[in-house]
Structure 1
């Protein structure tokens, strides 16, 4: 192998792959956000319904749905905020 071919191969071996710009990378899957909110509403709404049946009340299902939606929104914020921090730093 010639000296110039060896230097070209050495330079090509040290070359780093191109990195994606921050605008090209996806920010997150919106289905995760949908899943968090729907599952939170479903699980806590079901728990509120069960407590309503057990205690003989009628308002705990609504409270459970609101708490579940709140937790789902919080989990969505925490997941996407974490992904954003990993991309930036």
Structure 2
């Protein structure tokens, strides 16, 4: 029997580049950091809506950072 070798990666391979844990980390840390900042502002100002805004802004920044990192990794 002939020995089969695994296929080699071609330059135009469509496999994702980068670590998916980086994407998870960016989103979770953005939600945590900005959610905590929103919670602190809520406590300081006596409101109850800034934590939700902080969580949404943190998720948005996390998604943006994920896009920026993976877009750069694909171009390299």
Could you say whether these structures have the same fold, taking a TM-score greater than 0.5 normalized by the shorter chain as the test? yes
DSSP-derived class of the 1:21 partner: coil
How many residues were matched structurally?
Answer: 68
Where in structure 2 are there 5+ consecutive unaligned residues? 1-7
Larger radius of gyration: 1
| Alignment partner of 2:25 out of 29, 35, 49 | 35
Cα offset for 1:64? 0.1
- How far, CA to CA, are the matches of 1:24 and 1:75 in structure 2? 21
Cα offset for 1:73? 0.0
Give the structure with the higher percent helix.
1
TM-score normalised by structure 2 residue count: 0.82
Moved more, 24-33 or 45-54: 24-33
Q: List, as ranges, runs of 4+ consecutive aligned residues in structure 1 with deviation greater than 2 Å.
A: 22-26
> Taking structure 1 as reference, are residues 24 and 85 closer, same or farther at Cα in structure 2, changes over 3 Å only?
closer
Q: 1:68 is matched with which residue?
A: 58
Q: What whole-Å deviation, never above 9, does each CA across 1:14-48 have from its counterpart, x for those lacking one? A: xxxxx842328651110000000000000000000
Q: 2:38 is matched with which residue?
A: 48
- How far, CA to CA, are the matches of 1:26 and 1:63 in structure 2? 31
